[in-house]
Every structure is written in C-alpha cells, then in structure tokens.
C-alpha cells in the first residue's frame, strides 16, 4: 500500500514538473520582445486562462445553448454556472482551437474570448493587467504563437490530466521561476508544503470538534492560497463530513489572481479571495474565523501603511493594533495582532515569525507589550523552531507560533517551546536557500513532542542510519517569560564627594543603571541580594519600573560543548602533516626516478 502511494506521489511530481516546463518554454516565443524577467507577465495569466479554458471545454456546447436561450434575461448567471459545472463560465463562441483557425483576427477574437468569461474571471485577469500584455504581444506579432504554444497537447490542463492540487503546485512552480528571473525572492509568495503540512497538523492535532461541523479558515497573506487548500484537505482527512470555507487576502496581483482562479476551480466562493493590503486595508472587518494559518513577510517595513496602522492603533481595543506597535522596520508582529483579532473565542492560529518577535524591544516597547498581551491572556500555546534553510528566500531561524484562544485544561497557564531545528533531511537539490525538508518522519516526531506536552528530548534515526535526528520540548509557566525592569539610582561621586543624596533626585546628576527582575520576585529582596552588597547606597525609582516579556528560546535549548583540548588539536595537526609529508615524498620520489 505504501509503495503504491509513494509511486503515485512520484508520478504526480513528474507531471507537475513536466507541465511547468512546458508552460515556461513559451518564453521561447517571447524572447526578444520581452526581457527574461518579464516572461511571467505573460506566462502566469496565460496559464490561468488555459486552465479555465480546459475546465470549461467539455461543457462548451451546453453553455452556448443555455446562453442562446437565456441571454435576454436580466438574471442568467445561475443558469450559466449550472450549465458549465463550475462557479464560472464563458459565453464566447471561441475556443483556443477556433481562435487559431483565424490568424488574421487573432487579437480581436482573443479579446472577445476573454470578455466572454464571467465577471469573477475577468476580475482575475484585470488584477494581472493582462490587457497590457495582449497589446504588447499583438504589436510584437507573437500573440498567435503564444496561443498556439498553450494549445499544444502537452499543455493540456484539463482536470482529467492535472488534478486540482497538482495545479496548485504548477502555479507555485511558475511563480518561483518568475521570481527568480525577476531577481525577486520566491519565498515572498509561497511557503513550501513540508512546512504547511506541519502547521496544518499542529492546528488539527486535537481534532475539529463536533463531527460534520462547519469551519472557517483565514490566511491574511495567502499568496497562491496553497496554505488554505492544504488546511482544507487536512480538515477533511480528520473529518470527511466537515464543511470548510476559506477566506484569504493578498496584495500581489499575480498571486492573488492565481489564488482566486484556484478557488473558482475548486468550487469555492471566489468572493472570499480579496485583494488589498491587510495592514492598511483590511477586507474582513468584523470577521471571526475558526483557524488562521499564515506566513506573513518579516524584515519588511510598514512605513507605507503607517498612517492607517497608527490611526487604527489610536482606537485602542476598537482596532486591531491598540496593544502596541513594533518598529517600522519590521511589521510581522502587526500580522500576528491581526490574526488574533480575527480568531473566534475557541479559534486556533499557526503563524510564522522570525527570531525578532521573541525578544525585540525593551520593557514597555511595542513588541514587548504585544508579547505581554498574548501571554497574559494565556493565548500562547507553543512556539516551534523550524530548521534553518527551510525557506526559499532565507536561511535564518524561523518559528511557528501557535496561538489558541481556548487552551486545553492541562495547558492553561503554560507555554511549550519546541526546538525542531535539527529535525530535517537534506535535499538532494536546493531551491534557492531551501536546503532541507521537514520529511514525514520528522513531522510526526514534532507532532508527538507537541502532543506529549513534556519537558524532554526525542531522538530517532533518519531512516538511513547516517544521522540521528532530535526534537526537544520544554514546558514553562506563563510568568517565566516576564520581568520587571527597574531603574537603580545611586549617588554620583565627584572628587570623592557625593553630588546626589538619596531621596533628592536631580536628573542631570543622577547615576542610573537598570536591572531585570524575574516577574513575581520581590524587588526589595532582589536588591538586597544582587545590588546592595556592591552598591549599599543604591535605591529603586519605582515610578520608572516597567513590566516586559521576552522568550529566551536560544538560551533555553543551549548546550555547552567544551572546547577541544590543545593536545588533541596538536595531535590532529601532526597526523595531517605526516600524511601530507608522505604524499609529497611519494610525488617527488616518483619524479626523480
């Protein structure tokens, strides 16, 4: 059984790669007229159009007949959708085959064909600004050839030839190629499936509630919408009777077009795919969702969105960002706040962040206040460190934050940190910065550590016997991440004289230091133990004390490794010198004979 499943996966992978290669080879017809980094401007929307075309082809005659009978009606969409078998249709008399039969009128006929699509498809093409490319191809004399290329037998994208999920992979492949040729980061558009599957498993590990229930899933930076489709598939694996409705927002017009096209073909509601900037132009105000799954951009500033974000932050609890604002150089924690605002009272969120969300900002700063808000409300369930080199566009440390509005009883008041940075398998061939995969056995080990909810390590073989993999788990109370930052003041001494006396603070002459006292510890006791023995006249200005939160992930899992002894290092050097000397002796000895 497993061998058959593996073969199916291999066959699907081969089909995906072959189809993507065929579609990208259309670039041969664009060379000269377009620069390499512009090929995707044509290939991506044409791939979307051809997928729609091939889906609708079997019901072409039926739609034509229905349109002829109902075109005089003011409300005819429902009839045409029923005739097409999809949530979209095309009333044009043309197909790719008949378009190619009239080369002289290819441009006008192709426009007629595109205008025949239902409004939801035309919206996709409008976002991609496809009309601009049609005009360019028409003027450059390549439009006929491009349509011909997409009409080849190898470019058949009918559902019988390419399954819906595989089509998502093909779109991802094309987006990656476009990004690379544009010298743009592919990872800005989508997340690899191994990471998505881990996030989906984390969100569904405790089941989905009552069997046959209805669930909503939201991705605030949906890219090509593959996180949503994977989450839907996972929910249906857990409960075949479940009803899943997806919602997503995206700011990139090309990936938005692909996401909406994918939703149309899958039979979902395309109106749930919305275009706009999530931070400054929220398309789902007042919505609440069962699940949020997202990989927002990190290390990207939010200066453009600042005016709207700050306006909403000024609304306090009435807005999404009233808790606090991070540095304008990195807006990833704003997306976290948006996701929390969108969660139902029993909702769950998995969101990817880089390391700065763990510790950036001092007590009282925006990032610290955001962490405080999450932890003191007891919403932070777990943080999972992913292996480095897991993403296409970065090799840095990344983390999955698991936010839960209603924790299970045994997890209340606690947070689980999981170090899965060594739980991966090396790829045979890297894709950008992605050099490792979270293989299925790795994913199962991470989920086991998550479920067990214990402080312990898990070690297991990678299956080849060449390496041992490890997952580490550590359980903390919520308060373990909190601290009080106190301001310690003491007299300033000049020429052996005290300039400032206790109780008479003068701002420009005070000597001040800060100390971080673990939350819950008595500050007076801390001062007696840690400060006063070394500075007997110091005191605390309580008015300046602030509570802060940080998550010392690296320190938690750090393992000291003693430095190799000098004798051992010298021994290895001598061995190396001896081997090198022997090799040189053989080389020169052979040359003298």
Q: What is the pLDDT of residues 14-30, one digit of tens each?
A: 668 888 888 889 999 99
- Cβ pair 391, 398 in contact under 8 A: yes
User: Do residue 164 and residue 273 come from a single domain?
Assistant: no
Residue 426: name the closest of 457, 390, 385, 396 by CA.
390
CB atoms within 10 A of CB 406: 13
Average pLDDT, the chain: 88
pLDDT tens figures, 544-577? 999 999 999 989 998 777 777 778 788 888 888 8
205, 267: one domain:
yes
Q: Is residue 369 part of a domain?
A: no
Which secondary structure element, helix H or strand E, spans residue 106, and what is its range?
helix 106-115
Query: What pLDDT does 188 receive?
Result: 52
Assess whether 526 and 570 both reside in one domain.
no
Q: Check: CB of residue 556 under 8 Å from CB of residue 474.
A: yes
Please tell me whether residues 73 and 136 are part of one structural domain.
Answer: yes
Among 354, 370, 396, residue at a domain's last position = 354
- Alpha carbon distance 110, 47 (integer Å): 15
One domain for residues 287 and 318: yes
**How much is the pTM?**
0.85
Report, as an integer, the average pLDDT of 138-145.
96
Structure tokens at 223: 């890219």
Residue 383 domain flag: no
Mean pLDDT for the stretch of residues 355-376:
96
Please, are residues 352 and 543 in contact by the beta-carbon 8 Å criterion?
A: no
Tell me how long the chain is.
593
Q: What is the pLDDT of residues 148-182, one digit of tens each?
A: 999 999 999 999 988 877 888 888 778 777 766 55
**Confidence label for 5 from pLDDT (cuts 50, 70 and 90):** very low
3-state secondary structure of 286: coil
Output the six-digit token pair for 9: 């996966």
pLDDT (0 to 100) of residue 502: 52
Last residue of a domain, one of 181, 199, 216: 181
pLDDT band at 8 (very low <50, low <70, confident <90, very high): very low
Q: Are residues 168 and 280 in the same domain?
A: no
Q: Which of 220, 215, 249 is nearest to 231 (CA)?
A: 215
Helix 143-150 vs helix 39-56: crossing angle, to nearest 10: 50
Dist. CA 107–CA 94, nearest whole Å: 12
Examine the domain organization and report whether 212 and 113 are in the same domain: no
Task: Please report which residue ranges of 480-565 form alpha helices under DSSP H.
Answer: 523-526, 553-557
Predicted local confidence at residue 499, as pLDDT: 62
Q: For the domain that residue 243 is a member of, what is the CATH number?
A: 3.40.50.150
Backbone phi, then psi, for 168, in 5-degree steps?
Answer: -60, -40
Q: Are residues 227 and 147 in the same domain?
A: no
Per-residue pLDDT tens digits for 76-111: 999 999 999 999 999 999 999 999 999 999 999 999
In a domain, 26, yes or no: yes
- Contact assessment for residue 420 and residue 398, using Cβ atoms and an 8 Å cutoff: no
Tokens of 387: 């292996």
Residue at 385 is within a domain = no
Number of domains comprising the chain: 4
- 234 shares a domain with 328: yes
Instruction: Say yes or no: 125 and 40 in one domain.
Output: yes
Contact 450, 476 (CB under 8 A): no
What tokens were used for 249?
Answer: 């927002």
- What confidence tens digit (pLDDT) does each residue in 324-337 have? 999 999 999 999 99
Question: Distances in Å between the alpha carbon of 234 and those of 189, 222, 383?
Answer: 21, 17, 21
Domain around 546: 481-553
- Residue 31 maps to a domain: yes
The pLDDT score that the predictor gives to residue 255 is: 86
How confident is the model over 290-301, as pLDDT tens digits? 999 999 988 789
Choose the final residue of a domain: 163, 181, 199. Answer: 181
* 524 and 584 co-located in one domain: no
Query: What secondary structure does DSSP assign to 418-450, as a single string?
Result: EE-TT--EEEEEEETTEEEE--HHHHHHHHHHH
Strand ranges inside 420-568, DSSP E? 425-431, 434-437, 456-461, 468-477, 482-490, 493-494, 497-498, 511-518, 539-540, 546-549
- From 183-197, 402-416, 520-534, the region with the lowest mean pLDDT: 183-197
Is 139 part of a structural domain of the chain?
A: yes
Do residues 66 and 90 both lie within one domain?
yes
For residue 351, the surrounding DSSP H or E stretch is strand 343-354
More confident residue, 496 or 456: 456
- Distance between CA atoms of residues 49 and 42, nearest Å: 11
Residue 110 located in a structural domain:
yes
558: in domain: no
State CA 449 to chain mean position distance: 22
Interatomic CA distance for residues 217 and 290, integer angstroms: 6
């Amino acid at each position: 059984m497993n061998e058959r499943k593996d073969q199916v996966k291999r066959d699907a992978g081969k089909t995906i790669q072959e189809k993507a290669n065929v579609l990208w080879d259309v670039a041969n017809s664009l060379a000269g007229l377009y620069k390499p980094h512009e090929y995707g401007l044509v290939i991506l929307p044409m791939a979307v159009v051809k997928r729609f075309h091939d889906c609708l082809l079997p019901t072409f005659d039926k739609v034509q007949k229905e349109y002829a009978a109902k075109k005089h009606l003011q409300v005819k969409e429902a009839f045409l959708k029923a005739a097409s078998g999809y949530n979209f249709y095309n009333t044009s008399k043309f197909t790719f085959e008949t378009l190619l039969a009239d080369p002289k009128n290819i441009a006008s006929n192709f426009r007629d064909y595109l205008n025949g699509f239902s409004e939801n498809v035309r919206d996709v093409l409008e976002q991609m600004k496809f009309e601009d490319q049609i005009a360019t191809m028409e003027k450059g004399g390549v439009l006929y050839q491009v349509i011909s290329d997409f009409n080849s037998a190898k470019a058949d994208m009918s559902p019988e030839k390419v399954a819906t999920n595989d089509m998502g992979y093909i779109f991802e492949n094309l987006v990656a190629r476009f990004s690379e040729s544009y010298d743009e980061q592919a990872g800005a558009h989508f997340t690899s499936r191994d990471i998505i599957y881990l996030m989906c498993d984390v969100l569904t590990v405790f089941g989905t509630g009552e069997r046959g229930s209805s669930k909503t899933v939201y991705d605030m930076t949906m890219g090509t919408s593959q996180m949503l489709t994977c989450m839907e598939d996972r929910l249906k694996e857990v409960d075949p009777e479940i009803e899943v409705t997806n919602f997503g927002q995206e700011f990139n017009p090309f990936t938005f077009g692909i996401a909406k096209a994918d939703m149309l073909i899958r039979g979902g509601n395309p109106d749930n795919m919305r275009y706009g900037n999530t931070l400054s132009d929220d398309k789902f105000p007042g919505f609440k969702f069962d699940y949020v799954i997202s990989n927002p951009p990190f290390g990207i500033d939010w200066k453009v969105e600042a005016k709207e974000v700050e306006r909403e932050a000024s609304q306090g609890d009435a807005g999404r960002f009233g808790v606090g604002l991070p540095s304008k150089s990195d807006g990833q924690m704003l997306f976290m706040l948006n996701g929390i605002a969108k969660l139902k009272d029993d909702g769950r969120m998995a969101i990817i962040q880089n390391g700065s969300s763990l510790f950036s900002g001092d007590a009282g700063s925006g990032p610290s206040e955001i962490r405080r808000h999450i932890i003191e409300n007891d919403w932070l369930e777990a943080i999972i460190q992913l292996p480095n080199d897991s993403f296409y566009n970065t090799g840095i440390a990344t983390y999955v934050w698991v936010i839960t509005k209603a924790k299970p009883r045994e997890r209340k008041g606690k947070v689980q940190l999981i170090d899965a940075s060594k739980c991966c398998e090396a790829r045979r061939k890297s894709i950008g910065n992605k050099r490792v995969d979270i293989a299925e056995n790795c994913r199962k080990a991470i989920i086991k550590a998550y479920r067990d909810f214990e402080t312990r390590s898990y070690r297991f073989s990678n299956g080849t016997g060449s390496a041992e993999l490890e997952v580490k788990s550590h359980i903390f109370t919520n308060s373990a991440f909190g601290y009080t930052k106190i301001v310690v003041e003491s007299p300033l001494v000049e020429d052996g004289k005290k300039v400032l006396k206790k109780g008479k603070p003068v701002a420009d002459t005070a000597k001040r230091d800060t100390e971080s006292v673990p939350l819950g510890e008595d500050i007076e006791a801390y001062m007696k133990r840690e400060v006063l023995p070394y500075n007997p006249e110091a005191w605390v200005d309580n008015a300046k004390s602030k509570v802060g939160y940080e998550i010392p992930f690296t320190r938690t899992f750090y393992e000291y490794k003693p430095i190799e002894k000098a004798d051992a290092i010298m021994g290895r050097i001598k061995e190396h010198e001896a081997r090198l000397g022997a090799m040189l002796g053989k080389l020169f000895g052979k040359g003298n004979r």
